[in-house]
Amino acid sequence: MTHLEVMHFHPDTLEPGIFVYLFDYQKRDVLTYAASCFQIELEEEESYVVVDLETTGLQPGRDRILEIGAVKVEDGKVTDTFCMFINPRMEIPEYIQQLTGITQDMVRDGEMAEEAFCQFHEFCGDMTLMGHNLMFDYSFLKHQAVNQKIPFEKKGIDTLKIARTLLPDLESRSLTSLCEYFQINREQAHRAFHDALATHELYVKLKRIAPAGQKKVFQPVQLQYRPKRQSPITDSQKAYLNDLVKYHKIELDADIDSMTKSEASRKIDNII
């Protein structure tokens, strides 16, 4: 097993209703996390992939993915998991490190974004996506897909939209607030794998409180996001940036080879 592979235990090998996930974030390996909260079966046999991302910021196309966490649910039962660090090839902003606990050392040996997306794409197959504020995660994934010329059209279920419909009087429908409201155990907030697990349980809770007339809010809808493909940095931009770095004796916060053409242009404009 590589340092970023996902280990899963088939439910037939465990006590009914108990799923065990082992994950050591410091070693970037699936080793030590146990969850028994999924003694839950959906009322209907549903299949989907719950996904959550941690990123270097809030702007898809400019910011980069740090971590992908996902839970595969088939016929109403958790059957597989996915957890992967991605080397962003840039410095992680301090506030992101404080929020997520993800440090530069933790992602240093992570997969490159291109390989990570290919593995996640294979994990998902043609299944529906689910997330809390799903369009945030989907927009980052779709940017990566477009840049790699990989089709990634998906239907999705957004637990944030469902919560807004079913719980309009709550002051906040953030994942943190909803986990507190439903008393959902959230082992590590703002970590992709744990947030995906929490989102799955939140979905089950929301289905259980929904009146008969609101079942339509749980139907997947086609996700609409059409980013433009980003061209990689040109050879002339690389040469010019390297010359500027040497001349001004500065250090960039991202690997030059990892930049897009537009990112390189912004860096050059900021320096000169």
List the Cα angle 167/200/1 in 5-degree steps.
Answer: 160
Q: Which of 81, 59, 86 is nearest to 71 (CA)?
A: 81
48 within 8 A of 128, measured Cβ to Cβ:
yes
Q: Which amino acid is at 122?
A: E
Tell me the sheet residues that pair with 51: 70
* Alpha carbons 76 and 90: distance in angstroms, whole number: 39
**Candidate list 190, 194, 200, 248, residue with the active-site label:** 190
3-state secondary structure of 120: helix
**190 is an active site residue:** yes
Residues 233, 234, 239, 244, CA torsion sign: negative
185 within 8 A of 37, measured Cβ to Cβ:
yes
Residue 44 has phi, psi (to 5 degrees) of -120, 160
Catalytic positions: 190
